[in-house]
Chain A
């Protein structure tokens, strides 16, 4: 076997890039999917968008010169998610400032109240939050990101991350409290 020099070199370069990508980026595929799933509120859409984001990551990978690879990837995933939302469900982004008036569709205290278990209740409550509250909670509580990492992923200053988290937690707590109030009401009516 005596492969030509040019072919060989290019091939090895490619393989090295690929191996580096496989070793550095692919292990964060779960993180990528999880973030997309929560921003988009659905597994099917998340699968499509995460796939697109991974491909984008592969294209930009040469421009990645070390640092926090998870934050780098999640930033790409997040941007892909918002681009997708703008195109497919712009309402979800525009109701941002009016979420008291227009909660995320399909999520009401009543629907939370009848949710079967803790997991379902929390899932619905989280999905009821505006996307920007949801994403900081997911990054912090599910992904275990530091404020610094969240700041890098969301392009927000660290101080803003802290207040966004505080607001998101209050909203989540309120949603759950309303849910249990509704549940109690329901229980009383049945008595």
Chain B
């Protein structure tokens, strides 16, 4: 490779980074310059062989899990902007305010009597997070079936409780499948229902406490309803209306 053009332009051409005019110039040049033509050919072959070799290495799932479990840690550390010293004074006040709220937050968390609410809020956050995660491509179902007799046995042997699996297609809530998930370190069964184009995730896990009437709310634009029944705690989350969600809850409670 000795042509001057080869050194300076060939890679830009190869990478499609030259503008149209320079690109056309180089193509004209290629016809009359066997050195450049052969260099280009070599580089293209090298690129093909790199791309065919499958050198891209994806993140191991252990790393993904570690990062997800670190959110909590990072959250506790995050709220301070970096380099408080160079911030304008209004920001400094904001930082002080943030510290104040942070203190309040932790104080709140450990105040006796209010702990139950706190736990409920955290559980809701975890459930909504799990719902969002499930909407990522390929995460929704481990077993895809509209047949409750396929979905129910699928859970056998994977978890030590039997979630109530029923198809309500006749009522406009077709069962679409199920999966296992982990919420706050606890293994849960998830039933996936459809409602028109929407997805409803119903998280189920065993629970010793007595039945409760449903509680509901919304977070980040997602509606949720939770209740306890027959030794199970159930949490339904979706972007469908609270009315729809409650309709499914009633069917699940029958």
Give the B-binding residues of A (Cβ under 8 A): 1-4, 6-8, 10-12, 14-19, 22-23, 26, 29-30, 32-34, 37-38, 43, 46-47, 50-51, 54-55, 58-63, 118-119, 122-123, 126, 137, 140-142, 146-147, 162-163, 165-166, 169-170, 172-173, 176
Contacts and interface: CB of A to CB of B under 8 A. Distances in A.
A7 B105 contact: yes
Interface of B is mostly: helix
A64 B81 CA distance: 12
Contacts of B57: 33-34, 37-38, 43, 46
Interface of A is mostly: helix
Contacts of B60: 33, 43, 47
A51 B50 contact: no
A60 B82 contact: yes
Contacts of B51: 141
B118 interface: yes
Chain B contact residues (Cβ within 8 angstroms of A): what range? 35 or more
A7 B1 CA distance: 67
29 contacts: A3-B117, A4-B117, A11-B121, A15-B219, A17-B78, A18-B71, A18-B75, A19-B129, A32-B59, A33-B58, A33-B63, A34-B57, A34-B58, A37-B57, A38-B57, A50-B63, A54-B67, A59-B82, A60-B82, A122-B49, A141-B51, A147-B12, A162-B17, A165-B11, A166-B7, A170-B1, A173-B42, A173-B43, A176-B46
Interface string B192-226: 00000000000000000000000101011000000
Interface string B52-87: 111111111011101100110111011001100000
Contacts of A7: 104-105, 108-109, 117-118, 121
Contacts of A140: 15
Given A18-B75, A29-B63, A11 B50 contact: no
Contacts of B243: none
Contacts of B128: 15
B133 interface: yes
B30 interface: no
A41 to B, nearest CB: 11
Given A6-B108, A141-B51, A29 B7 contact: no
A126 B55 contact: yes
A30 B117 contact: no
B59 A29 contact: yes
A58 B73 CA distance: 10
Contacts of B108: 4, 6-7
